[in-house]
Amino acid sequence: MRSALLLLAVCAASHAATFREAPQFFNSPDCPSQADDLEKHNEDGQHHCFNHAVHVAMTLDTAYIRGSMAAVLSVLQHSSCPQSVIFHFVYSASANASSLHATVSHSFPYLKFQLYPFDDEAASRLISMSIRSALDCPLNYARSYLANLLPTCVARVVYLDSDLILVDDIAKLAAHPLGGESVLAAPEYCNANFTAYFTPSFWSNPSLSLTFANRKACYFNTGVMVIDLDRWRAGDYTTKIEEWMELHKRMRIYELGSLPPFLLVFGGRISPVDHRWNQHGLGGDNIRGLCRDLHPGPVSLLHWSGKGKPWARLDANRPCPLDALWAPYDLLQTPFSIDS
């Protein structure tokens, strides 16, 4: 219990920040009419069940809120129908919800969004220490509970980490087909050493080593996913992920936080997305966070996964070259900022 409380305290540690107001963005003439959506809104009193909405889920906390605000701005700025994008923010139940709501509302007064409390104390009981403390924050596991947290009228959602920006229309990603029985879609990286994501004790166990039998399992990054929440709920995949986490508490079978349970459940069973939608690893590795270049090919989303975050490196006057691509989306209000 003491270690769980200590984990929550470390994850919550941050300083207060003030953000300036973002521009308002409007739908293009080609966007579906919002008349039907407004009618539905009047009927059920909810603004998260629009007919033509693109649903986006993110976590929201004081430690990463600067990244979250930049990510939201990038989504809106590059969307052809920004007024049809609805954000679902999951926050720690122990956090100040009114403060988080006020922060988002101040910078995005026209944004359609909803906040959902996450029982981080309960989740922390399933978490084992990994190679980087940030990976152990209970809110990092909230992506496994979206089907339980979001309303049942939300059938599909795009999950985004807080350390990324989009430079393309999110509707294209949201519309990615999940053929067959796939529950989620994400870019796959089959050249990665998949065995390295699990410990020797996992691979040496006769029954565990058969987990991926008859599955062409590849690494995928869980910071960008398109999730069919109806299929997730029907298959009770949250329970399947928790079962692997409970096993991991008894015998150490992986090292990297919330990622390996997703690989165990979904590896080889996802709908692959073009790599342009997750140019990940820009934060370097999980130990030193050194600078990295983009992967070859077109770019729709830049993702600073890894230890190094662009806002921290910019503040320290030690930015990597690609951090300059994140800076224009930074809404932090500094003493020297001039509102335009």
With a CB cutoff of 8 Å and minimum separation 6, the contacts of 44 are: none
What is the structure's pLDDT at 44?
43
* Domains of the chain listed by start with CATH number: 54-329 (3.90.550.10)
Instruction: Determine the Cα–Cα distance for residues 334 and 317; give it in Å rounded to an integer.
Output: 15
What is the structure's pLDDT at 130?
62
With a CB cutoff of 8 Å and minimum separation 6, the contacts of 310 are: 67, 163, 282, 283, 304, 319, 320, 322, 323, 326, 327
What is the structure's pLDDT at 288?
73
Residue with tokens 């308002």: 24
Distances (CA, A) of 228 to 164, 173, 183, 332: 22, 13, 5, 34
pLDDT digits (tens, 9 = 90+) for 98-114: 999 999 999 999 999 99
What is the structure's pLDDT at 37?
56
Residues of the chain with pLDDT under 70: 1-10, 12-16, 34-48, 130-135, 286, 289, 336-340
What is the structure's pLDDT at 39?
44
What is the structure's pLDDT at 60?
97
Encoded tokens for 326: 């994140």
Encoded tokens for 26: 């409007």
Residue with tokens 């009770």: 236
Please tell me what DSSP assigns to residue 92. Answer: E
